[in-house]
Structure 1
């Protein structure tokens, strides 16, 4: 019997189904973003810093609804790659992040790949289904204040 049949069958647990769907969507975006050497999480951080920067780590964590410790861990590779920098004054406890010129260039290049991933999902799911899905995701996200 083909094992893929079992892997593609929905579980009776809603949480597991949502996690599986999240993993599948993440893989799609990561594939499209591969030429930019970014994963979707890294792209998202660059996008938010670009739109909001300079921005403190705490404010960024609130904006993207991510635990501050997890965020700091995810920012390190971007800093080490020279894509973001801390522009706060020396000794300041409040880091202010912004994209470097390399970060802006990488973000803009990756944005084209991200748009292709967006279009792929819209075509795959259909615009109406994607609108319903987005509404449902917002409702699910509202479960936790």
Structure 2
């Protein structure tokens, strides 16, 4: 059996001043890891919204893009990507799906290199249909923490985002 020092899969090698990888240290990492815990919460929250929005044919990511397109009607894609915290490639791929569904139009800006996403009348209707389902799900999720704790979580998340920019 190869020693841990020879294992290229071990991120914590003995002698490097870091603890060896074992079940206890991995458990502690998953308990404290910002990425692991935020992604886990995000997956579960997204699944709840996706289930609620299923009758509309939208996923929560698509709903969020419709909201962003509605709120930022003249914003070029690279600025919209920044607002959404997405890279432009991911945003373009997701907007292409909404365009195929007839929910957004991707139009050239004054500078022909710029692209702007605009909600279509069908996109506005989809947003109006999905919004009550979003509200119900949002209320159900935030009720698990209560208003005061939820506001604290939002404040903490905003501070984290600001600190990482």
TM range (shorter): 0.7 to 0.9
Q: Indicate conservation of the 8 Å contact 1:28/1:117, yes or no.
A: yes
State the TM-score, normalized to the length of structure 2. Answer: 0.75
Query: Using the alignment, how far apart are the partners of 1:110 and 1:22 within structure 2?
Result: 20
Aligned residues: 136
- Corresponding position of 1:12: 31
**Residue deviations 1:16-63, cap 9 Å, x none?**
122111111111111111111111111010001011113311121122
Would you say 1:119 and 2:139 are equivalent positions? yes
Is the 1:82–1:103 Cα contact (8 Å) retained in structure 2?
yes
Compare the two structures and name the one with the higher helix fraction.
1
Q: Which runs of 5+ in 2 are unaligned?
A: 1-28
Matched, 1:69 2:89: yes
Match of 1:48 among 46, 52, 68: 68
Q: In 1, Cα distance between the equivalents of 2:118 and 2:47?
A: 27
Residue 60 of structure 1 corresponds to 80
1-side partners of 2:54 and 2:74: how far apart? 27
Cα drift, residue 64 of structure 1: 1.3
Alignment of 1:55-134 (within 5 A): 55-88=75-108, 92-134=112-154
Contact residue 55 and residue 98 of structure 1 kept, 8 A:
no
1: distance between equivalents of 2:158 and 2:67? 20
Higher relative contact order (CA closer than 8 Å, sequence separation 6+): 1
Superposition misfits of 4+ residues, deviation over 4 angstroms: none
TM-score (norm 1): 0.85
8 A contact 2:76–2:109 mirrored in 1: no
- Secondary structure of 1:87's aligned partner: strand
